[in-house]
Structures are given as C-alpha cells and as structure tokens.
C-alpha cells in the first residue's frame, strides 16, 4: 500500500527502518511525517522515507462521548492548550490525537478557547529546538488578552527539562502556566490523566502567575500538587505521583474544586507582556562524575564543538583531585580556554559547599562554577539558555549564579528532604 493512501483512523502494521509497529494512524500536522498512536498510548511521528511497508489491519471507529456536546460558557475564563504528545494525549482522536480526551469536567472550570499542536513527540525525543517552539507558542498565548492561562500537555520522562526551559525563557509572567502529564493512558481505569488535567485547568484560572508542574500528589485520586518548574524532578519510573519538589516545597495542593496554598507564589498580573528569550544552545552537556573517571572526557566535548558542560559532582562538589585521573590540571586548561564548566549536586538533595574540604577549595580555584542546590537537569537547561542569549553570555558566571526562576533555594529546610 502507498503512504499517500493512509487515512486517519486506520489500524495499520508499519514495517520501518526503526522497527515494526502496530498502530492507529492519526492526522499529522507536519507534511512528510506519519503520525501514529501506539498501543501503549504514545503518539509518535515517523518520516515517510523511514517506512518500508504498510499493511492495513482494519478501520477503527472513533470514540465519541459527551465531549462532543460541550458548550462554550461566556462567564468562564478562557484557557489555551498546547499539546506536545506523551501518554496524556492517548485517548483516540484520529484528527489530532490530543483533543477528544478533554474531560467534560474541565469545561465546568474554563473554556478551552484555543488548542495548538506544534508537534507530537515522546519527551525523550525533544531537545532545545522543541523548547524554543513551546516557549514561543506559550508566550504568544500569554500575550493574548482573551486568554487567562495556559496548559501544556507533555510526556513525563523529560517534562522537567521543558518546565525549566519555560521558566527561564518566559521570565516574569502575569498568568499561570500549567504543564501536566499522564503516566497511564486515559483509556485505562487507573489513568491519572483526568485528575491531572482537571487540576491543571484549576491552576490555569488561578491567581498564581508561575510555571508549575501539575500532577498526582500521591497514589490516590484526591488532589494534585502544583510543583515549582525549576525545582522538580521525575523520581519514579511508573508511579502516578512520580514528580517531587526537590529542595523546595510544592506551591499548592489542587483539588478539582479548590486550591490550598502551601508556599509563596507570584500573583497574577494580566497587564504583563512577555518578551520571551526563547533561544537554547545545543552545545551544552550534562556529565555524571563517577569513580576513576578520566578528565579527558572534557576534550571529547570540546572537540565536538560544545561550549560548556554541567558536571554532576559527588558529595559537596568533588571530582578526582589526585592520582592519574586528577581533574585539576585539565579543568584549569579548558576553563582558561573559554570552555564553561559548572557543577551541580549528584545527590540531588542538598547543596554544593566547595569550601568545607581542601579538595573543594582547590577545585573552586580552577574556575568551575558551583551551582548551589540546583537540580542537574535544571542546570543543563539554564546553561543551554545562557549560552544562546548574547546578553546573558557576556558574563556567564554571573548569569549562571543569578537566581532567574527560583532555581536556587537560599533557605533549604528539613521538611524539604524526601517530602
């Protein structure tokens, strides 16, 4: 069968250069890309030239429900939605793969006034170019006087990277931005999609003008947490309450009918207009330090044209400082040449304190930038953002140590450990 004869709604077996897939064909927003829904619930795109053979299994009937009868209520706030893929986009809709799963409960909270699908990707396939697209789209929506808040739906695995990218690129915002997910597809009884999306809508119409991750707070279905974008991380491969605030508190508990505040937040100010700094460099890397690691790994990145790396340092901020794999000479050499080296805590919890031990003090003299209690993933996104923006790149050390989006917590409390 020829590719041009594929139609949305067909169940097909695709033989491709990447492997074999049984799937439902969706309508693709991009020419040259065949968008499909896998049985796992994920939507993925495959380039036409990657497809070697196609076999139609059967025609699927589109699921229809009460969402078709929903009416726009003029007295409700207007929310815009950006759908990028992931399990939360998993109920069958053969035109977009991302709209018909909207739960009628949602429309008791707000009107979904606008829906954009810039692409459909699993989050592990996203990178700086995608962060730029999402940032620009969200900024445009926030600047729309008719929009009261924005929801972004996203795959879970690398959602915290995109959340950090939005927090840095958007800067000070006057309306809420909720980024939400689902660990289990919405056609499963144990799905977290319904509650997460309803709570995201509740956040999007609130007075909290922050970028926040919205998702299950525990294994039940009672409420979600709103988590700070730059201080949160996926901490479990499959649990519905996979995301946790690290070295920080949740912003709020969100129930379907109310919000209970937990920590400080930026208040809504609809007059604020966004001038997004949405560029991100692809020449930043994240490297985990491990025992006996050869510092020549830095030469690899330099030879590949990278401009800087974040090292996940051990303990209070250490790498090897003696013996055959002593990092100090190499660090002095590469940093003097203009290569940027930052350190983030491999422990995730706690902060780097290079002055406690002599090894840390010697490392600090090389010019390595110690990024306090920042999450390693957030540090990578921040370095990528700083390297891509000329005004920030003028003084990289100052920019990396500036607390742009509450990525640093100057007062970490005991109850923020394994909260």
The answer to whether residues 184 and 192 touch, using CB atoms and an 8 Å cutoff, is yes
15: tokens are: 């033989």
Dihedral angle, C-alpha 223, 227, 229, 232, nearest 10 °: -110
- DSSP letters, 286-324, are EEE--TT--TTHHHHHHHTT--EEEEEEBTTTB---SST
Integer Cα distance of 6 and 283 in angstroms: 38
Integer Cα distance of 198 and 111 in angstroms: 12
Q: Taking Cα atoms as reference points, which of 312, 267, 268, 271 lies closest to residue 293?
A: 312
The answer to whether residues 284 and 380 touch, using CB atoms and an 8 Å cutoff, is yes
Residue 121 burial class via C-beta count within 10 angstroms: exposed 0-12, middle 13-18, buried 19 and up? buried
With vertex at residue 252, the alpha carbon angle to CA 277 and CA 148, rounded to the nearest 5 degrees, is 50
The answer to whether residues 179 and 152 touch, using CB atoms and an 8 Å cutoff, is yes
Residues with catalytic function: 87, 156-157, 234
Q: How far is CA 193 from CA 61, 186, 336, 353, 354, in A?
A: 22, 6, 49, 40, 43
Q: Taking Cα atoms as reference points, which of 294, 287, 305 lies closest to residue 368?
A: 287
The answer to whether residues 322 and 316 touch, using CB atoms and an 8 Å cutoff, is no
Integer Cα distance of 316 and 357 in angstroms: 9
> What length is written for the chain?
419
The answer to whether residues 181 and 86 touch, using CB atoms and an 8 Å cutoff, is yes
Give 3-state DSSP helix, strand, coil % of the chain, rounded to 5.
25, 25, 50
């Amino acid at each position: 069968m020829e590719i041009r004869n594929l139609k949305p709604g067909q169940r097909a077996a695709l033989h491709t250069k990447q492997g074999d897939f049984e799937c439902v064909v969706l309508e693709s927003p991009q020419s040259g890309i065949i968008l499909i829904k896998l049985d796992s619930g994920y939507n993925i795109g495959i380039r036409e030239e990657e497809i070697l053979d196609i076999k139609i299994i059967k025609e699927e009937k589109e699921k229809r429900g009460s969402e078709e009868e929903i009416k726009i209520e003029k007295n409700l706030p207007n929310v815009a939605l950006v759908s990028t893929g992931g399990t939360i986009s998993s109920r069958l809709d053969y035109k977009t793969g991302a709209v018909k799963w909207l739960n009628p409960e949602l429309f008791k909270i707000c009107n979904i006034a606008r829906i954009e699908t810039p692409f459909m990707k699993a989050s592990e396939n996203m990178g700086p170019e995608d962060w730029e697209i999402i940032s620009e789209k969200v900024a445009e929506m926030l600047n729309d006087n008719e929009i009261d808040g924005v929801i972004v739906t996203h795959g879970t695995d690398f959602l915290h990277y995109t959340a950090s990218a939005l927090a840095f690129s958007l800067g000070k915002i006057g309306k809420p931005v909720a980024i939400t997910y689902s660990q289990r597809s919405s056609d499963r009884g144990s799905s977290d999609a319904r509650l997460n999306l309803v709570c995201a809508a509740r956040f999007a119409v609130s007075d909290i003008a922050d970028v926040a991750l919205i998702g299950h707070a525990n294994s039940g279905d009672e409420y979600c947490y709103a988590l700070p974008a730059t201080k949160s991380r996926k901490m479990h491969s499959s649990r519905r309450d996979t995301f946790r605030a690290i070295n920080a508190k949740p912003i709020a508990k969100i129930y379907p009918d109310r919000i209970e505040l937990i920590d400080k937040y930026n208040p809504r100010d609809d007059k604020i207009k966004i001038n997004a700094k949405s560029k991100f460099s692809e020449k930043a890397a994240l490297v985990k330090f491990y025992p006996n690691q050869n510092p020549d790994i830095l030469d690899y990145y330099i030879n590949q044209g990278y401009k800087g790396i974040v090292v996940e340092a051990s303990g209070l901020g250490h790498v090897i400082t003696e013996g055959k794999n002593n990092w100090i000479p190499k660090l002095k050499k590469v940093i003097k040449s203009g290569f940027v080296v930052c350190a983030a805590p491999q422990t995730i919890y706690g902060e780097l304190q290079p002055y406690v031990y002599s090894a840390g003090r010697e490392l600090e003299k090389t010019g390595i930038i110690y990024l306090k209690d920042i999450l390693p993933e957030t540090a990578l996104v921040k370095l990528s953002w700083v390297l891509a923006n000329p005004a920030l790149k003028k003084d990289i050390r100052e920019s990396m140590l500036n607390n742009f989006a509450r990525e640093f917590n100057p007062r970490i409390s005991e109850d923020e450990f394994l909260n």
